[in-house]
Structure 1
Amino acid sequence: MGTPLGDFVRATRDSIQPDSLGLPERGRRRSPGLRRADLAARAGISVEYLTRIEQGRDRNPSVAVVNALADALALGPEERAHLRYLAKITGGECVAHTRPAPPPRRVRPSVLDTVRLLEPGIAVVTNRLGDILAHTSAYEAVTSGTGLLDTDTPNLTRYVFTDPRARDLFPDWDDIADEQAFDLWLGPSLENSEWLTAELASACGPDFTRRLNRHVVPRRGPLRLHHPTGCELRLVREILELPMDAQQLIVLLPADEETAAAVAGLHRRTQGRLRAIS
């Protein structure tokens, strides 16, 4: 049985073309990507040891080995952070022995006051599991008619993978799906992540599981929305971490004048107020 760390190393190795690292092409292969022997040589470890890591038979590589693998795979800062996180949970430091439970949904009053100050801008408070905890009236306007906020406990991850309207709302649905799957690894706690992934795995099938285990670190470019009214929106995302609460304050800024005008029109149609969802 594999481990998150082994799955990530193997998937990343398979995605790398040897010539991108200055390595010679050595003829046809049965599988794509970098050879295990080449990665082991670049990291300064044995092929046998790398095989044990990838297959999940070694769960406690040293910090030096993890850093050597990051260098050998030419990982960027976000990929390196994810590799270290996977090494941590694979080693058992974050393994939960309690029954999984839904994460808390309370938003601190001072955070709600901050969101109110952002009106009439587009802002939302979420956690890494995708729970929508509070939002401005402008956020409600740009998601009106999409079904995202129709439930008492809206969750973006569940919406993306289970509501067919999500594929109409997000023209770049594949990228959004990868983002939501990746963020489950960074959830407030391992047991909370397991609570949601267990639900989604049964509802969404192998496509969700495949995305979850690919460990694709998202680039999070501009967010494109196709609103049911026909508006095409391009929004720049500014994500502010709230580590005390394991939550995020996400501010969406119009990327162009057309989007700004469209958002203003939608807002006028759905004048509302800040909502905190408990």
Structure 2
Amino acid sequence: MGTPLGDFVRAKRDSIQPQSLGLPDHGRRRSPGLRRLDLAARAGISVEYLTRIEQGRDRRPSVAVIHALADALSLDPTERDHLRYLAKITGGECSAHPQPAPPRRQVRPSVRETLRLLEPGIAMVTNRLGDVLAHTGAFASVTGAAGLLDGDAPNLTRYVFTDTRARTFFADWDDIADEQAFDLWLAPSAENSAWLTAQLAALAGPDFTRRRNRHVVPRRGILRLDHPSAGALRLRRETLELSADAQQLIVFLPADDKTAQAVEQLRERPHGRLRAIS
């Protein structure tokens, strides 16, 4: 049985073309990408040891080995952080409980006050599981018509994978789906991630499971929305980590004048005047 660490190393190895690292092309092979022999040589470890890591038979590689693999795979800083995190949870530092509890949903009063000060801006408080914990009225103006805030406990990850409206609302749905699947690895704890994944896997089907296990580190570029009434919107995202709460404050800023005008018109509608803080 594999591990998240082994899956990530194998996926990255398969995605690398030997020519990009100055290595010879060995012709048609059953598996794409870099050979185990080449990666092991670049990392200074044996092929047998690399095989054990990829297959999940070695769950505690040393810090030196993790750094060597990151160098050998030419990982960027975000991918290196993810590799280190996977090594930690694979090694058992995040032990699983038989019945993991869901994450806390409370938002501190000072954070709620910060949201009020951000009005009439577009902002929300969320966590890595995708729970929308609090938001400004402008956020409701932009997302409410698409159904994201339906229900008593809105969750962005669940919405992306199980609500058909999401595929129209997010112009780059594939990228957003990869973002939400990846963020489950960065949830406050492995237990909380497992809690949501157990629910989503049955509802969202194999596409969700495949995306989560691919470990694609998202680039998080401009957020492009196809609003039901306002049309195309382009928003930049600024994320402030609330590390003490395992939450995030995300502010969405219009990326162009057309979007700014459209957002202003949405704010002027009755529902946009509400301070929709849950």
- Alignment correspondent of 2:274: 273
| 2:208 corresponds to 1:208 | yes
> Greater CA deviation, 149-158 or 91-100?
91-100
Q: SS state of the match for residue 125, structure 1?
A: strand
CA distance in 1, matches of 2:276, 2:229: 23
Alpha-carbon distance, 1:42 to partner: 0.1
CA distance in 2, matches of 1:176, 1:163: 13
- Alignment correspondent of 2:237: 237
For the Cα contact (< 8 Å) 1:119–1:136, is it kept in 2? yes
Which ranges in structure 2 are unaligned for 5 or more consecutive residues? none
CA distance in 1, matches of 2:223, 2:29: 38
* Deviations 1:169-203, CA, capped at 9 Å, x for gaps: 00100000000000000001111111100000000
- Alignment correspondent of 1:222: 222
Map 1:106-125 to 2 at 5 A: 106-125=106-125
For the Cα contact (< 8 Å) 1:235–1:253, is it kept in 2? yes
CA distance in 2, matches of 1:274, 1:249: 16
Q: Comparing both structures, which one devotes a greater share of its residues to helix?
A: 2
Identity %: 75
Report the TM-score when normalising by structure 1: 0.98
Alpha-carbon distance, 1:100 to partner: 1.2
CA distance in 1, matches of 2:244, 2:272: 32
Give, as a single letter, the amino acid of the residue that structure 2 aligns with 1:144: G
Alpha-carbon distance, 1:97 to partner: 2.5
For the Cα contact (< 8 Å) 1:40–1:50, is it kept in 2? yes
Alpha-carbon distance, 1:273 to partner: 2.8
Give, as a single letter, the amino acid of the residue that structure 2 aligns with 1:26: H
Give, as a single letter, the amino acid of the residue that structure 2 aligns with 1:191: E
For the Cα contact (< 8 Å) 1:98–1:191, is it kept in 2? no
Give, as a single letter, the amino acid of the residue that structure 2 aligns with 1:213: N
For the Cα contact (< 8 Å) 2:137–2:277, is it kept in 1? no
Alpha-carbon distance, 1:230 to partner: 4.4
* Deviations 1:23-73, CA, capped at 9 Å, x for gaps: 111121111100010000000000000000000000000000000000000
Q: SS state of the match for residue 237, structure 1?
A: strand
CA distance in 2, matches of 1:154, 1:116: 20
Give, as a single letter, the amino acid of the residue that structure 1 aligns with 2:218: P
Alpha-carbon distance, 1:98 to partner: 4.9
Map 1:95-114 to 2 at 5 A: 95-114=95-114
CA distance in 2, matches of 1:4, 1:111: 34
CA distance in 1, matches of 2:215, 2:120: 36
Q: Hey, which bits of structure 1, 4+ residues long, moved more than 3 A?
A: none
Map 1:46-85 to 2 at 5 A: 46-85=46-85
Q: How many residues align?
A: 277
For the Cα contact (< 8 Å) 1:141–1:266, is it kept in 2? yes
Q: SS state of the match for residue 224, structure 2?
A: strand
Map 1:114-263 to 2 at 5 A: 114-263=114-263
Report the TM-score when normalising by structure 2: 0.98
For the Cα contact (< 8 Å) 2:230–2:266, is it kept in 1? no
CA distance in 1, matches of 2:8, 2:65: 15
Give, as a single letter, the amino acid of the residue that structure 2 aligns with 1:271: G
